[in-house]
Structure 1
Amino acid sequence: MRLEVTRDVVSDLYPLYRSGEASRDTRVLVEGFLAGDGEFAATLRETERLAPGFAAPRLSPDAELRLLEAAQQRARMKLRIIAGAVGVGGVLLLLALSGAMVMLFRGGF
């Protein structure tokens, strides 16, 4: 089976290729494609030339930990809300059943 390699595929693989993390087969694929599409190769080179102008976001050293803690706090809050809704539903169900039992035994039905 032979798959068609497109510009989109090469665009996805290119960062791995440039960082040296791509496999030998991926390097051969990217290099072969770029050798056959000079215009696209020039576009990627131009993109690389512009990339250093974009600053990487500055995160505090504990940013990952703070994001994790915030996600855990949201998860706990959702759990409390669900537990509260289930509890209120249970109480309402018990009240309805007890009212029905009272009416049944008093002959209200």
Structure 2
Amino acid sequence: MIEVECRIFIKKDKQIYLDQTKINLLLHIQQNGSLRSAAKIMGISYQHAWNLINDMNTVAVEPLIIKQRGGTSGGGATLTSSGLRVLNEYQQIEKQVNVFVKQINAEINM
């Protein structure tokens, strides 16, 4: 059976702005409220996670996450309204692409 798969890369000014790894990082930050926890869940270093966030925040018009410094009460990270919007928009694009890919797969395997 032949199967088409598709990966989504959203670029801005020829730079990859969003991909599945960055979206997964945003999702884990949203769920756990922590960049360190998100990195651990994804099996990447904290530094790599921070670099991904920095890349997104640099390309975005507004920051996608806000990081609170640690201390006695601990730190954390939260998605901004822009971060939530970007996450939602990516998920909508992903749904549309998945529908299209399913249609293609159905047609080529008739």
TM score, norm. by length of structure 2: 0.28
More strand by share: 2
Give the number of the structure with larger relative contact order, counting CA–CA contacts within 8 Å between residues 6 or more apart: 2
Q: Radius of gyration: which is bigger?
A: 1
TM score, norm. by length of structure 1: 0.28
